[in-house]
Amino acid sequence: MITRSILIGSLVYGASVLAGDGGAINQNQDLPFKLPPQSVFVDPQSFAVMGANATFRKDFFETFNPTSTTPPFFQIFHPSFLSVLGPNPSIRQVASNSTFSFAHEAPIYVPTTDEVFFASNDGGALGMSDLNHNSVVSKISMKDVDAAIAANQSTIEVPVTTLDLPETVQMTNGGTGPYKSSLLLITSGRGPRPPSIALVNPKAPHNVTVLLDNFFGRQFNSLNDIKVHPSGKIFFTDVTYGFLLNFRPNPLMPNQVYRLDPDTGAVRVVATDFDKCNGVAFTEDGKTAYVADSGALAGFLGNNQTEPATIYAFDVDEQTHAFKNRRVFAFVDTGIPDGIQVDLKGNVYSGCGDGVQVWNDEGTLLGKFFLGTVSANMVFAGDGKLVILGGTNIFVANIAAQGIPAISP
């Protein structure tokens, strides 16, 4: 069994142990550090050799939880994760709907109103959207979250408000910002309606300005994710998931990363040769780009775990913004990497098959925000607050790390 050789630092999440961390420390007397609340330390050395009789994982969506700890919790693989978490971290579910994947993608934090926006699953499981039905964009108030946590409620369900958006926004799959006081959404399109990049007023009446919906007259496949580079240029990924989830026509372009110059409207390709490019993010200085390739996940074609579940790093050319010197940054152990965010210290966060995984800038896995289920994306909502989208639920982690401020707020 895997668990026999594991150094256990298990602390089961639950009301009775939320306030303390004593149980965890007692089981980890040899640790050279103090284990924070809701966390376990899994020493890579402890499972380096499992033996011929061990139970190995076969399916890439099967999770790796050798301490059998009840999610959500922090799974620490490297002591540097302690500086991400800080001395007194917590992780709580704050909203849920077991029948509706209402919180899938496009997380955006708007500081002026202290709200987080997100989109429901476009075309996927429990998304309630398909060729004939659009997905929706909703929001929660971080003030509601803070109040519920301060009141020590055992179960938190903050109100979720769905936006009434114009028809131009179809199947939102990514977002960033605020950008020029607006949400910067990227949409997959639906049927013949084109994928697009759209500015959305975060306040009612939620009016929309579409910035782009084609490449020299050709529709994109189904646009997926988007970030603003420190230069002010907008970078985005295009991939075939709309087709693979039965709500877009046959793809007519390669899966690639593009750059939009918002001042001139010019669009160009900056990276190609992906299986299925997905999340994109930059370091604070804009010199390094990360792109997730979720090739192993293929909709109606079926999953194939010998295809990529890989994050690549690139140098960003200062003149042309072409992505150069592609190298492997991380291959994720569970599921596929989806949305990516980078914190102020350069640590890289990606939504994966078991929650949010975190690497340092050298690609060393530091730890996980372990949900035991898929997270497609997450966003910092002010200093030390990470809002994690779990599809049918939303989690908020209070930690030490800070996100990169919006480029053109």
Ligand X SMILES: *[C@@H]1O[C@H](CO)[C@@H](O)[C@H](O)[C@H]1NC(C)=O
Contacting residues toward ligand X, per CB under 6 A: 15, 18-19, 51, 53, 97, 99-100, 152, 182, 199-201, 207-209, 304, 306-307
Q: How far is the CB of 51 from ligand X (least distance, A)?
A: 5
Q: Cα(187)–Cα(210) distance, rounded to whole angstroms?
A: 10
How far CA 229 is from CA of 258, 282, 320, in Å, comes to 12, 7, 13
CB 51 within 8 A of CB 2: no
Q: How far is the CB of 79 from ligand X (least distance, A)?
A: 28
- With respect to ligand X, which residue has the nearer C-beta, 90 or 288? 90
Q: Cα(284)–Cα(94) distance, rounded to whole angstroms?
A: 29
Q: In the beta sheet, which residues pair with residue 324? A: 315
- With respect to ligand X, which residue has the nearer C-beta, 165 or 271? 165
CB atoms within 10 A of CB 214: 12
- With respect to ligand X, which residue has the nearer C-beta, 270 or 389? 389
- With respect to ligand X, which residue has the nearer C-beta, 303 or 364? 303
- With respect to ligand X, which residue has the nearer C-beta, 79 or 166? 166
Q: Cα(357)–Cα(349) distance, rounded to whole angstroms?
A: 6
Q: How far is the CB of 174 from ligand X (least distance, A)?
A: 17
Two tokens, residue 17 = 């142990």
Checking DSSP bridges between strand 39-41 and strand 73-76, what pairing results, if any? parallel
CB 68 within 8 A of CB 3: yes
- With respect to ligand X, which residue has the nearer C-beta, 112 or 152? 152
Dihedrals phi, psi of 46, to nearest 5 degrees: -70, -20
Q: How far is the CB of 207 from ligand X (least distance, A)?
A: 4
Helix (H) or strand (E) holding 147: helix 142-150
Separate counts of helices (H) and strands (E) for the chain? 4, 26
- With respect to ligand X, which residue has the nearer C-beta, 84 or 396? 396
- With respect to ligand X, which residue has the nearer C-beta, 140 or 199? 199
Q: How far is the CB of 100 from ligand X (least distance, A)?
A: 4
Q: Cα(26)–Cα(30) distance, rounded to whole angstroms?
A: 9
Is residue 409 classed as helix, strand or coil in its secondary structure?
Answer: coil
Contacts 24+ apart (CB under 8 A), 16-24: 18/90
Which of 244, 373, 388, 384 is CA-nearest to residue 304?
Answer: 244
Q: How far is the CB of 1 from ligand X (least distance, A)?
A: 10
Which of 342, 275, 283 is CA-nearest to residue 309?
Answer: 275
CB atoms within 10 A of CB 130: 17
CB atoms within 10 A of CB 244: 21
Q: How far is the CB of 52 from ligand X (least distance, A)?
A: 6
- With respect to ligand X, which residue has the nearer C-beta, 78 or 104? 104
- With respect to ligand X, which residue has the nearer C-beta, 53 or 319? 53
Q: How far is the CB of 285 from ligand X (least distance, A)?
A: 29
Q: How far is the CB of 163 from ligand X (least distance, A)?
A: 13
CB 17 within 8 A of CB 23: yes
Q: How far is the CB of 205 from ligand X (least distance, A)?
A: 8
